[in-house]
Amino acid sequence: MRTIDWADGTVRIIDQTRLPAELVGIDVGEVDELVVHIRSLAVRGAPALGVAGALGMALAAYRSAESGGDLDADLAVAADKLSQARPTAVNLSWGVEQLRAARAAGAGAEQLLAAALAIRDADIEINQALSDRGAQLLAGSRRVLTHCNAGALACVEFGTALGVIERLHAAAPLEMVYVCETRPLLQGSRLTAWELGQRGIPHRIIADSAAAGLMLGGQVQAVVVGADRIAANGDVANKVGTVSHALAASYAGLPFVVAAPESTIDPGTESGAEISIELRDAEEVLALAGRRVAAPGSSGWNPAFDVTPAALVTAIVTERRTIDGRACELRPEVVLAGDAGLATAG
């Protein structure tokens, strides 16, 4: 079952809030409903959100055609709602913009759906390509650490960081994947561990706070994570906690690799300081599995993402290139100008 797909005039998603207890799909028939599922993280992860943006626009066009509505007006409303559903992953607004551009070029409802389906299909090939590249870069690493979920569940059916891990394991069996549980919503222990278990890849879940000690203790050879937005200077926004792992990896002298499609790179955002970080309900931090555990009267702060400075990133691996994050920081003017002039991590 794909994480997100089109089925009988609806957007079909896996409800990730119910994993790993049950694997259940939801057929989403309205854009407003899709926005609710994006906010609740029923569908989540940057590449999957890109496809959600595109399929959401196709859904709006489909419903508009059915009801004889004004297609452009309906698409404008849908574009606003979808783009604003979550602010950090640039893929969401990227997916919406791809469909807006198709409409501007004259596409009707059927062609808009075809454009969205092409984005869905491309996601699989793109992630396989970047995963091959990432696995080549990290060949020889047998004990790796990852944070959050950048697997098939964050994409259509093949992951980014977890795609790299899968490819590494296929080349030579991994000794261990250390999976950070990823407080507060546990994408690591609920989703990444589930995916690795399904693929028979050895893994251990650790508390996020155990990662630095593990790295300094020599038990990890590389860290690989996904990204929600990469600024033009190479700064990387990803799930909160990522920057702590990057700092520890840097101190321990370990490669810290970011695996992400080109659509996660946002040339319009100069540096990480400009990235809007989603602030979620503090209750998510004050509670565990829906039950309040914090001291009565205490308040919380719950940013969903943090920014890792480019200087801490050994390499950003996309489907087209390998970018040396540290070179980005030093030479911002050459970043994203194409392969020429970019240092390639090896």
Active site residues: 228
DSSP assignment of 3-28: SEEEETTEEEEE-GGGTTT---EEEE
227 binds ligand MRU (CB under 6 A): yes
- Cα torsion angle, 215, 216, 222, 226, sign: positive
Q: What residues between 142 and 171 interact with ligand MRU by CB under 6 A? A: 148, 150, 154-155, 160
Tokens 């990444």 map to which residue?
192
Residues in binding contact with ligand MRU, number by CB under 6 A = 18
Among 74, 123, 208, 228, binds ligand MRU (CB under 6 A): 228
DSSP state of 302: -
Beta-strand runs (E) in 86-235: 143-146, 176-180, 203-206, 222-225, 229-231
187 binds ligand MRU (CB under 6 A): yes
Among 239, 245, 258, 269, binds ligand MRU (CB under 6 A): 239
226 binds ligand MRU (CB under 6 A): yes
Evaluate whether 37 touches 28 at the Cβ level (below 8 Å): yes
Q: Which residues of 181-191 are buried (b: 16+ CB within 10 A; e: fewer)?
A: bbbbbbbbbbb
In the shown chain, the binding pattern of residues 74 to 103 toward ligand MRU, with x for contact by CB under 6 A and - for none, equals ---------------x--------------
In the shown chain, the binding pattern of residues 248 to 287 toward ligand MRU, with x for contact by CB under 6 A and - for none, equals ----------------------------------------
Q: Could you give the angle at the alpha carbon of 305 between the alpha carbons of 304 and 311, nearest 5°?
A: 170
| Smallest distance from ligand MRU to CB 338, Å | 24
Q: What residues between 287 and 316 interact with ligand MRU by CB under 6 A? A: 304
- 193 token code pair: 């561990």
Residues near ligand MRU (CB under 6 A) are 41, 44-47, 89, 148, 150, 154-155, 160, 187, 226-228, 238-239, 304
